[in-house]
């Protein structure tokens, strides 16, 4: 009965999700990423939300796997990109010419399966050029499992993004295989230290040591570091002491709708 229930639940979620895309129930929220040296918002991560008419907000961990199984993720992923690009352009215009060279970078999550089909590396880059949006104002967050993958076309696509000037960030670093070899082969711009290490830093000397080591290693490889899930002042202080570049977490801001994010940046 338990399995039956979970299969039925997934099927109904799937059917509703197909409609959700048409009915525009998906929303993109923005979580600020701050420069730890001065507290300025320099980036934001886009995070998908499904605003379900009866169930309220449903988180991405729950519906993205369903979307992937149904083959809906490339359509949703494109939508995320066009929203992100529009936000980058909007901010660029609102902040005026003085800050042109210093754009607020919008990061988007892209799961491995979104690299298997389609040619987003061409359409996305083409769109940015056509709209006059600098490619540097978009960053793609990937996970380690993508780099472990041996499909040559995936790596080719990553390279194309990077050559165009779109930056790459390695998400949830430290909890996967952490096979360091790929840091040498791929031009990664940022490592995002997984929130589990940040959470443990205050009490667990081993978590603290791992965070420090990741930062030193990344810097030697010319990679900047973002710490995820910062919730306390003490975590922020320890990360600054360890030389971490950027921070993201509830201490600074929760993910917020686009209009609220603009207010945070422009105020
Ligand atoms: P992620 O990319 O690692 O995103 C960070 C997650 O940590 C987000 O969860 C965010 O809301 C949460 N978070 C941020 N700061 C804090 C904090 O201080 N404390 C705590 N406890 N949590 C914090 P969320 O929004 O539920 O997203 C979960 C995952 O879903 C993301 O993990 C990402 O892998 C995936 N995801 C979200 N949006 C997209 C998308 O547009 N496309 C794809 N492919 N995946 C997405
Ligand atoms: Mg992410
Ligand atoms: Mg993460």
Ligand 2 centre to CA of 3 (Å) is 30
Ligand 1 atom index nearest CA of 248: 15
Which ligand ends up closest to the CA of 72?
1
Q: How far apart are CA 159 and CA 178, in angstroms?
A: 20
Atom of ligand 1 nearest to the CA of 80: 41
Q: What are the Cα distances from residue 88, in Å, to 49, 102, 216? A: 19, 12, 31
**Residue ID of nearest Cα to ligand 1 atom 40:** 109
Phi, psi of 166 (to 5 degrees): -75, 130
Cβ atoms < 10 Å from Cβ of 255: 19
191 phi, psi to nearest 5 deg: -110, 135
The residue among 26, 66, 27, 30 whose CA lies nearest residue 46 is: 30
Q: Per-residue confidence of the chain (267 residues) as pLDDT tens digits?
A: 899 988 888 888 889 999 998 899 999 999 999 999 999 999 999 999 999 999 899 999 999 999 999 999 999 999 999 999 999 999 999 887 777 777 899 999 999 889 988 889 999 999 999 999 999 999 999 998 888 877 888 888 999 999 999 999 999 998 887 778 888 878 899 999 999 999 999 999 999 999 999 999 999 999 999 999 999 999 999 999 999 999 999 999 999 999 999 999 987
Could you give phi then psi for residue 170, rounded to 5 degrees?
A: -100, 110
Q: Answer whether 108's CB lies under 8 Å from 161's CB.
A: no
Residue 141 CA: nearest ligand 1 atom is: 2
Residues with CB under 6 A from ligand 1: 31, 46-48, 59-61, 64, 80, 109-111, 141, 171-172, 228-231, 248-250, 255
pLDDT per residue over 100-156, tens digit each?
777 899 999 999 889 988 889 999 999 999 999 999 999 999 998 888 877 888 888
């Amino acid at each position: 009965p338990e399995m039956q229930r979970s299969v039925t639940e997934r099927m109904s979620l799937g059917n509703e999700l197909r409609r959700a895309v048409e009915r525009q129930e998906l929303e993109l929220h923005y979580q600020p990423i701050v420069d730890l040296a001065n507290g300025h918002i320099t980036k934001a991560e886009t995070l998908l939300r499904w605003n379900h008419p009866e169930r309220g907000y449903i988180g991405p961990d729950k519906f993205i796997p369903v979307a992937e199984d149904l083959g809906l993720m490339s359509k949703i992923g494109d939508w995320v990109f066009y929203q992100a690009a529009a936000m980058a352009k909007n901010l660029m215009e609102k902040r005026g010419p003085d800050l042109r060279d210093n754009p607020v970078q919008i990061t988007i999550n892209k799961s491995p399966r979104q690299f298997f089909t389609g040619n987003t590396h061409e359409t996305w880059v083409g769109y940015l050029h056509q709209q006059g949006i600098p490619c540097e104002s978009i960053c793609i967050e990937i996970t380690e499992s993508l780099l472990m993958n041996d499909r040559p076309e995936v790596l080719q696509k990553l390279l194309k993004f990077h050559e165009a000037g779109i930056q790459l960030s390695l998400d949830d670093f430290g909890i996967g295989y952490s096979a360091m070899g790929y840091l040498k082969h791929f031009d990664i711009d940022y490592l995002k230290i997984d929130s589990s290490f940040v959470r443990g830093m205050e009490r667990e000397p081993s978590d603290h040591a791992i965070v420090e080591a990741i930062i030193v290693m990344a810097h030697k490889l010319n990679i900047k570091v973002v710490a995820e899930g910062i919730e306390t002042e003490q975590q922020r202080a320890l990360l600054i002491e360890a030389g971490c570049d950027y921070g993201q977490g509830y201490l600074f801001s929760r993910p917020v709708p686009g209009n609220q994010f603009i207010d945070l940046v422009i105020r």
